[in-house]
Copies of this chain bind each other. A is one copy, B any other.
Amino acid sequence: MNLNEEVEILKGVPIFSKIEPARLKLLAFTGERMTFGSGQEVCHQGDPGDAMYVILGGVADVLINTDKGPLRVAELKKNGFFGETAILCDAPRNATIKASESLLTLKISKDMFYRLVSEFPTMAIEMMRELALRVEDTNQKLRALTAATKAA
């Protein structure tokens, strides 16, 4: 894949969509592309984390540990991102991410992440938007389950 093709792919990712194409070349240059085969883990719950990932292609499962073994709680698709909590909060990985089909990711190190957010505030805004939507979505599920539990 040449640099222009890479830039085209990055332009389609919402958190990068408002960064000027010329500047996306920096990201295409510096971000690390990593591929994972079906069933392969990208990161493991409890491990320390020093990078976040953006999915450029493929699908991954989000698994959490329970006393009955790993439980699949969500699915991540193209343009999704994960791993930001570990680098923002200096916390261990809060879930295991496993490719459920061939997965292409852009790995962004913690240092690179802070540099990108400082240089490209639109990336921070898009990430905040996505995080706000996740809070809202999880809150709605929590409220629905609380209401169902009380009604039962």
A positions within 8 Å CB-CB of B: 64, 66, 73, 84-85, 88-89, 91, 94, 114, 117-118, 121, 124-125, 127-129, 131-136, 138-139, 141-143, 145-149
Give the distance in Å from the alpha carbon of A88 to the alpha carbon of B142 in the complex.
22
Known: A88-B128, A117-B121, A128-B88. A66 touches B135 (CB 8 A): no
Specify how many copies of this chain sit in the oligomer.
2
Contact of A129 with B89 in the complex, beta carbons under 8 Å: yes
Q: Tell me how far the C-beta of A77 lies from the nearest C-beta in chain B, rounded to whole angstroms.
A: 18
Known pairs A138-B138, A145-B149 / 20 extra A-B pairs, C-beta < 8 Å: A64-B143, A73-B143, A85-B133, A88-B128, A88-B132, A89-B132, A89-B136, A117-B124, A117-B128, A121-B121, A121-B124, A124-B124, A128-B131, A131-B131, A135-B135, A135-B138, A142-B142, A145-B145, A145-B146, A149-B149
